[in-house]
Amino acid sequence: MVRKFFYFLNVLALVVLLLSCMAAYINPNIFWQLSFIGFAFPVVLLVNVFFLVLWLIKKSKFAFLPLIAIMLSWKFIHASFAYNFTQQTESGLKLMTWNVKNFDLYNWSHNQETRINMMQLIASENPDVICLQEYYSNNQFFHNTEYIRDTLGYKYFYFPPAVENIRQPKGKVQTTLWKNGPLVQQWGVATFSKYPITDTGTIRFNNTNSNRCIYTNVKVSNQQVRIYNVHFQSIHLGYNDYAAIDSMEETQQTNWTSVKNILRKMKLAYNRRSLQANAVNQSMDNYKGAELLCGDFNDVPVSYTYQTVKQNLQDAFVEKGSGFGATFVNRFSIFRIDYVLPDKNIKVNSCKTIRKPLSDHYPVCVSLGL
């Protein structure tokens, strides 16, 4: 009886694993639940590995079940877990992509030094091109654009604000402190370069104002590469959502109201990202030169978003990284949602994730031979 129950669990794990792989091909607007299953791919994979080991120890013929499941999902295993042993060389064009979470504008880290530490990390890595998401700058106190341009030496940049807020000074205190007149706050996606930028453009998404993709044509010696810098739709979990998750973990009791609210937000994000990914993919298909896409996808490798934009591109982490390559800062440390995807004419020399929790994302640095 117990053995039959384990057989049933094994078949169930096999089916769920194959369904998670299908999430990469089925548009969430058609069947969004698959996207949620795809998000759980690493966990479901480990369950199948457990059954494979179990049946091999038992010398059971049922070992072929998890083995078939693993073989059929090998493409996504390779995308989720890298195992490179070749030497990495930081030569060629060095690029960093990083969701900087507004440079800790609201002091989420409870550390007044976080912003300057982030700038120091950029300076120490010294990339040739920096692609930043959730970028923020203002004309009064957070002179991030001027600092990166003048102090760090990135004289070429493209930053079309997705959101801009202008506040007039109120009272004597603000009038005295705001020496540059009204407070002009700007949020969005920004690209900085030490090499000349010859062309720029913006891909606006119809279903959001804050998320977008920008591109810059960067001229390196006699070669030109178009760099797409994207921030796809976030889930936008709030403090109440995270508190509910923590509470359910501690009490081992399910708060269905909170679960439904979180699932609703995930469904909306999956649907929006699918449309945004299609828009970026169409723009990249229309460009005929050397190109790469990087940024915060807010989605895992086994997803419709990733599969749509990757197409015939390389994944720098798959080529040169190792392990899960987690880029989202959380206790589980397995979620890779930030990427650098160069076309196949660009050689990947190195790829590394800098595991310093200054934002809720880790920065990713790659070296590319054009």
What does the pLDDT look like over 87-101, one tens digit per residue? 788 889 999 999 999
Averaged confidence pLDDT in the chain: 90
What distance in Å separates the CA atoms of residue 97 and residue 86, rounded to the nearest whole number?
23
* pLDDT tens-digit series, residues 303-340: 999 999 999 899 999 999 988 899 999 776 788 999 99
Share of the chain above pLDDT 90, in %: 65
pTM: 0.92
With cut-offs at 50, 70 and 90, classify the pLDDT of residue 237: confident
Domain co-membership, 42 together with 74: yes
From 47, 80, 113, the end of a domain falls on 80
Domain co-membership, 210 together with 312: yes
Residue 22 lies in a domain: yes
Question: In terms of residue numbers, what domain contains 43?
Answer: 2-80
Question: How do beta strands 183-193 and 197-204 pair?
Answer: unpaired
Residue 88 lies in a domain: no
Beta strands in the chain (DSSP E): 82-83, 93-99, 129-138, 156-158, 163-167, 183-193, 197-204, 212-220, 223-231, 290-296, 322-323, 338-342, 347-353, 364-369
Domain co-membership, 133 together with 205: yes
More confident residue, 250 or 35: 35
pLDDT for residue 302: 95
For the segment 19-28, the average pLDDT, to the nearest whole number, is 93
Specify the amino acid at residue 151: T
Residue 16 lies in a domain: yes
Crossing angle of helices 256-286 and 239-251, in 10° steps, is 130
Domain co-membership, 32 together with 162: no
pLDDT for residue 263: 83
Domain co-membership, 52 together with 175: no
What distance in Å separates the CA atoms of residue 296 and residue 314, rounded to the nearest whole number?
16
Domain co-membership, 157 together with 48: no
Q: Are 133 and 165 in contact (CB under 8 A)?
A: no
pLDDT for residue 291: 97
What distance in Å separates the CA atoms of residue 331 and residue 242, rounded to the nearest whole number?
13
With cut-offs at 50, 70 and 90, classify the pLDDT of residue 236: confident
Domain co-membership, 74 together with 99: no
Domain co-membership, 68 together with 105: no
pLDDT for residue 89: 85
Domain co-membership, 101 together with 46: no
pLDDT for residue 249: 64
Residue 85 lies in a domain: no
From 20, 55, 80, the end of a domain falls on 80
Q: Are 4 and 10 in contact (CB under 8 A)?
A: no
| Domain count along the chain | 2
Residue 250 lies in a domain: yes
Indicate whether 213 pLDDT > 90.
yes
**Token pair of 161 as six digits:** 């604000």
Q: Find the radius of gyration of the CA atoms of the chain.
A: 22
For the segment 194-220, the average pLDDT, to the nearest whole number, is 95
Domain co-membership, 67 together with 107: no
Residue 87 lies in a domain: no
Residue 189 lies in a domain: yes
Residues in the chain: 370
Domain co-membership, 124 together with 20: no
* pLDDT tens-digit series, residues 165-184: 998 888 776 777 777 789 99
Q: Are 121 and 363 in contact (CB under 8 A)?
A: yes
Residue in 51, 192, 64, 52 with CA at minimum distance from that of residue 126:
192
Lowest mean pLDDT among 2-16, 186-200, 284-298: 2-16
Residue 117 lies in a domain: yes
CATH number, position 294: 3.60.10.10
Alpha-carbon distances of 219 from 36, 154, 198, 227, 239, rounded to whole Å: 40, 14, 7, 11, 43
Domain co-membership, 210 together with 305: yes
